[in-house]
Amino acid sequence: DAGITQSPRHKVTETGTPVTLRCHQTENHRYMYWYRQDPGHGLRLIHYSYGVKDTDKGEVSDGYSVSRSKTEDFLLTLESATSSQTSVYFCAISESGEGYGYTFGSGTRLTVV
Amino acid sequence: EDKVVQSPLSLVVHEGDTVTLNCSYEVTNFRSLLWYKQEKKAPTFLFMLTSSGIEKKSGRLSSILDKKELFSILNITATQTGDSAIYLCAVDSGGGADGLTFGKGTHLIIQP
């Protein structure tokens, strides 16, 4: 979807290194989310944001931090990557915070070796 | 803790068959239930259901919600190979701003 882009699309990193994933939107939506998707677990919420500098933890937030210094960008940082953080990461945006309004990015495939 | 359970987890059928995918949920609050289709990349929205017994339809796909029994079904009739995907069920438990709770998904494969 042209209104939301994630970067990088793929990344391989070593255990113990910091990694930052970027989600950029052009829709001026208030709400932004980071999910991870793993086989056997479905999509799980990591962190979310309900405005600039307003963020909160989701179900699986340990080992992750986020920042949102402007409306269009939501950054996810793995402070010290571990193999258990190998996953596909999806960003989503929503204008209203209600489920039907979610638009997902194309995902970032992260491999921690 | 909110929970969404989908069944079956995987399903292989032949083109032209009809399939029924199931989603049950236990949540503290309920605002809506959503179905998404995920092919190789991002999930795409199919339906949102908020009221019991109302069927939502889009072409060969339809879905219904039973709020009393806490489940939903997604039906696909006259399946085509392009229907092959992972189908995700999610519940918005009223705090929509703090995300959806997803099931593990049903991996549907349509064989020609």
> How far is the CA of B107 from the CAs of A43, A94, B11, in angstroms?
14, 26, 6
The distance in angstroms from the start CA to the end CA of chain A is: 30
Q: Which of B41, B99, B102 lies at the smallest CB-CB distance from A107?
A: B41
What is the 8-class DSSP label of residue B54?
A: P
Virtual CA dihedral for B55, B82, A38, B106, nearest 10 degrees?
40
Question: Does the pLDDT at position B7 exceed 90?
Answer: yes
Residue A96: pLDDT band with limits 50, 70, 90: confident
Chain A residues within an 8 Å CB radius of B92: 98-99
Question: Does the pLDDT at position B70 exceed 80?
Answer: yes
Residue with tokens 């889009």: B58
Is B45 an interface residue toward A (CB < 8 Å)?
A: yes
> Strand, helix or coil at A76?
strand
Is A9 an interface residue toward B (CB < 8 Å)?
A: no
What's the mean pLDDT when you consider all of chain A? 93
pLDDT digits (tens, 9 = 90+) for B79-105: 999 999 999 999 988 655 567 899 999
What is the 8-class DSSP label of residue B55?
A: P
Q: Which of B48, B88, B96 lies at the smallest CB-CB distance from A97?
A: B96
pLDDT at B83: 97
Best of A5, A43, A109 to disrupt the B interface (most B CBs within 10 Å) is A43
Comparing alpha-carbon positions, the chain B residue that sits nearest to A38 is B104
pLDDT (mean) for B45-66: 91
Please give the residue that has the higher pLDDT: either A50 or A98. A50
Residue A99: pLDDT band with limits 50, 70, 90: low
Question: Does the pLDDT at position A86 exceed 80?
Answer: yes
pLDDT at A41: 85
CB contacts < 8 Å between A and B, how many?
63
Instruction: Give the CA angle between residues B41, B83, B23 to the nearest 5°.
Output: 85
Q: Which residues contact A63 (CB under 8 A, 6 or more apart)?
A: A78, A79, A80, A82, A85
pLDDT at B53: 77
Chain B residues within an 8 Å CB radius of A100: 32, 34, 45, 48
Q: Is residue B74 within 8 Å of B46, Cβ to Cβ? A: yes
Contact A94 B96 (CB under 8 A): yes
Q: Among A1-5, B20-24, B99-103, which is the least confidently predicted range? A: A1-5
pLDDT at A113: 96
pLDDT at B97: 58
pLDDT at B54: 82
pLDDT (mean) for B59-66: 96
Question: Does the pLDDT at position A61 exceed 80?
Answer: yes
**% of residues, chain B, pLDDT over 70:** 96
Question: Does the pLDDT at position B51 exceed 80?
Answer: no
Question: Does the pLDDT at position A42 exceed 90?
Answer: no
Is B8 an interface residue toward A (CB < 8 Å)?
A: no
pLDDT at A90: 97
Is B103 an interface residue toward A (CB < 8 Å)?
A: yes
For residue B33, which of B42, B46, B20 has the smallest C-alpha distance? B46
